[in-house]
């Protein structure tokens, strides 16, 4: 078993702990799983256990693993800002009566998908040699846009040392500046301490609607946000690539690029329909990486866009283990799909991966979040890692404490009718109050002050 303090510069996965109000409200634009599971009962305890089991599995492979706490729900501040008043129970009841949609928004536990929390660039790539963070504005939907402030606070709290970390404000919240964070951002490198090349993928070009965008669903990520982040993070423009998503893919349910492409070190695994101009993207990546990148494009004939979205093949995580193996951590759904499973066998055969491991993330998957959605990758040198709030770094002991904590506080199931229950609110706040002790973060939530 490895120690979480990596001796060399390493990629640390910060996974979002799934919160006690995890539910299916169908809130997410362009996300087919969210739409099709709308109003189904959810299983918060199983959900949180599945997410934690994935973290423990990666840790057992020797991948440094940390945890980000959920956002406080219900988000009473949001409901009050929208005109619901009275005591807490009255606010929840009025919201349920007048707008179940707003109530569900205030109960969403979507912050678990930390790939959307922020864009992070390692110190090796920034000209001031510090790690840069920009929280995502998530303007496309209210339930996600209301995560930004708490995310920013959490990141500042966890990565608190200004010698190592720079925290930027989110880019302005305007639809032509849409930013959904690291889900549309990939970094390629040789070893993690070496300077990398960063790929920013976008669905909309802020220069206006020229009719080339998706027809059915909204493009959530803008090019302008990526450009701003590349400037803010002081990246070398010669080592940055911008790529437009294929609008057909967005219309098939690819609401983030990480539903159709995944990169790790010198490998890009993507569907042939991922980008509007795939040849140009590959050429740009070859040039900027001095031809060290290996691109594996999966043809439509092998895996259709629809099957890619249904199985979340490309939302797998690729990790380098302690023994220097390259492992693909894929959703169970990929094993169950014969075509995808056969392809994975071939990718092991041809040494793209040393092996594939499958993880059961049913509860998250049913809201459109696979293995890669649940993690924010932060590349840290040993000194940077040593300065991080250490209570969030996963240890064997913390896994056991969190399992126990989940079992004590989380409900087995939740329905839409339960969301206004003031007892659920108390349970949720009490759970989070205890969690901040377990993670040694102090009082971070408004309700604790």
Q: How far is the CB of 154 from ligand SUO (least distance, A)?
A: 17
Which C-beta is closer to ligand SUO: that of 4 or that of 137?
Answer: 137
CB 303 within 8 A of CB 275: no
Q: How far is the CB of 141 from ligand SUO (least distance, A)?
A: 7
CA 138, CA 225: separation in Å to the nearest integer?
11
Which C-beta is closer to ligand SUO: that of 116 or that of 381?
Answer: 116
CA 111, CA 340: separation in Å to the nearest integer?
29
217 binds ligand SUO (CB under 6 A): no
Which C-beta is closer to ligand SUO: that of 27 or that of 359?
Answer: 27
Which C-beta is closer to ligand SUO: that of 31 or that of 137?
Answer: 31
373 binds ligand SUO (CB under 6 A): yes
73 binds ligand SUO (CB under 6 A): no
How many Cα neighbours within 13 Å face the side chain of 86?
8
28 binds ligand SUO (CB under 6 A): yes
Buried b (16+ CB within 10 A) or exposed e, 382-398: eebbebbbebbbbeeeb
Which C-beta is closer to ligand SUO: that of 130 or that of 144?
Answer: 144
Measured from the Cβ of residue 159, the count of other Cβ atoms closer than 10 Å reads: 22
Concerning whether 168 is annotated as a catalytic residue, the answer is no
Which C-beta is closer to ligand SUO: that of 154 or that of 282?
Answer: 154
DSSP string over 75-109 = -HHHHHHTT--SSHHHHHHHHHHH-HHHHHHHH--
Concerning whether 180 is annotated as a catalytic residue, the answer is yes
Total residues in contact with ligand SUO, by rule CB under 6 A: 20
Residues 368, 375, 377, 379: which binds ligand SUO (CB under 6 A)? 368
Q: Before 74, cis peptide (omega within 30)? A: yes
For residue 110, give the nearest of 385, 423, 363 by alpha carbon. 363
Q: How far is the CB of 109 from ligand SUO (least distance, A)?
A: 8
The residue number with the shortest CB distance to ligand SUO is 28
Q: How far is the CB of 315 from ligand SUO (least distance, A)?
A: 8
25 binds ligand SUO (CB under 6 A): yes
34 binds ligand SUO (CB under 6 A): yes
Residues 19, 178, 369, 371: which binds ligand SUO (CB under 6 A)? 369
- Token couple for 370: 């696979």
Q: Considering Cα of 361, then 365, then 367, then 369, what sign does the dihedral take?
A: positive
108 binds ligand SUO (CB under 6 A): yes
317 binds ligand SUO (CB under 6 A): no
CA 93, CA 97: separation in Å to the nearest integer?
6
Span interacting with ligand SUO, options 162-170, 261-269, 367-375, 380-388, rule CB under 6 A = 367-375
Concerning whether 334 is annotated as a catalytic residue, the answer is no
Residues 174-203 that bind ligand SUO (CB under 6 A): 183
Span interacting with ligand SUO, options 117-125, 235-243, 306-314, 368-376, rule CB under 6 A = 368-376
CB 36 within 8 A of CB 24: no
Long-range contacts of 126-129 (CB under 8 A, 24+ apart): 126/166, 126/233, 126/234, 126/235, 127/234, 127/235, 127/236, 128/166, 128/234
376 binds ligand SUO (CB under 6 A): no
Which C-beta is closer to ligand SUO: that of 10 or that of 199?
Answer: 199
Q: Which of 180, 357, 363, 384 is catalytic?
A: 180
Q: How far is the CB of 137 from ligand SUO (least distance, A)?
A: 13
Alpha-carbon distance values, 216 to 37, 116, 124, 447 (Å): 19, 22, 40, 40
146 binds ligand SUO (CB under 6 A): no
CB 118 within 8 A of CB 14: no
Q: Which of 256, 264, 271, 409 is catalytic?
A: 256
Which C-beta is closer to ligand SUO: that of 20 or that of 369?
Answer: 369
Q: Is 317 exposed, middle or buried (0-12, 13-18, 19+ CB in 10 A)?
A: buried
Residues 46, 79, 106, 115: which binds ligand SUO (CB under 6 A)? 115
Which C-beta is closer to ligand SUO: that of 49 or that of 144?
Answer: 144
DSSP state of 270: E
CA 156, CA 166: separation in Å to the nearest integer?
9
Span interacting with ligand SUO, options 113-121, 194-202, 319-327, 345-353, rule CB under 6 A = 113-121
Span interacting with ligand SUO, options 111-119, 159-167, 225-233, 381-389, rule CB under 6 A = 111-119
Tracing tokens 């390493």 back to the chain, one arrives at 10
For residue 196, give the nearest of 246, 146, 235, 227 by alpha carbon. 235
Active site residues: 180, 256, 373
For ligand SUO, the binding residues (CB under 6 A) are 24-28, 31, 34, 108, 110, 113, 115-116, 144, 183, 255-256, 367-369, 373
């Amino acid at each position: 078993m490895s120690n979480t303090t990596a001796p060399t510069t390493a990629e640390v996965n910060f996974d979002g702990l799934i919160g006690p109000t995890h539910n299916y409200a169908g809130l997410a634009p362009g996300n087919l799983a969210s739409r099709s599971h709308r109003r189904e009962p959810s299983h918060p305890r199983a959900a949180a256990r599945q997410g934690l089991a994935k973290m423990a599995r990666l840790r057992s492979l020797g991948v440094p693993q940390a945890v980000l706490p959920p956002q406080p729900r219900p988000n009473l501040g949001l409901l009050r800002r929208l005109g619901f008043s009275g005591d807490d129970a009255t606010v929840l009841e009025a919201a349920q009566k007048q707008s179940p949609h707003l109530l569900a928004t205030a109960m969403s536990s979507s912050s678990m998908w930390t790939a959307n929390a922020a864009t992070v660039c390692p110190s090796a790539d920034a000209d001031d040699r510090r790690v840069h963070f920009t929280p995502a504005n998530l303007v496309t939907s209210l339930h996600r846009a209301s995560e930004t402030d708490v995310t920013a606070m959490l990141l500042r709290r966890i990565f608190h040392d200004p010698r190592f970390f720079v925290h930027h404000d989110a880019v302005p919240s305007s639809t032509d500046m849409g930013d959904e964070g690291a889900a549309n951002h990939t970094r390629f490198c040789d070893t993690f301490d070496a300077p990398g090349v960063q790929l920013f993928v976008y669905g909309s070009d802020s220069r206006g609607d020229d009719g080339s965008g998706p027809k059915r669903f909204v493009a959530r990520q803008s090019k302008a946000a990526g450009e701003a982040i590349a400037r803010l993070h002081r990246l070398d423009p010669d080592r940055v690539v911008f790529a437009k998503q294929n609008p057909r893919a967005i219309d098939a349910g690819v609401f983030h690029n990480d539903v159709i492409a995944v990169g790790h070190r010198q490998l890009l695994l993507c569907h042939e329909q991922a980008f509007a101009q795939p040849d140009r993207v590959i050429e740009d990546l070859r040039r900027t990486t001095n031809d060290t990148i290996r691109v594996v494009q999966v043809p439509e004939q092998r895996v259709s866009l629809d099957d890619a979205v249904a199985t979340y093949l490309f939302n797998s995580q690729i990790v380098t283990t302690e023994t220097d193996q390259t492992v693909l951590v894929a959703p169970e759904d990929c094993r169950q799909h014969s075509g995808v499973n056969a392809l994975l066998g071939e990718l092991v055969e041809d040494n793209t991966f040393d092996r594939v491991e499958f993880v059961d993330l049913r509860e998250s998957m049913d809201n459109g979040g696979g293995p890669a959605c649940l993690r924010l990758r932060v590349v840290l040198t040993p000194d940077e890692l040593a300065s991080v709030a250490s209570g969030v770094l996963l240890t064997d002991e913390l896994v056991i404490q969190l399992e126990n904590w989940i079992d004590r506080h989380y409900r087995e199931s939740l329905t839409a009718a339960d969301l206004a229950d003031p007892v659920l609110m108390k349970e949720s706040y009490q759970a989070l109050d205890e969690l901040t002790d377990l993670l040694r973060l102090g009082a971070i939530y408004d309700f604790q002050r």
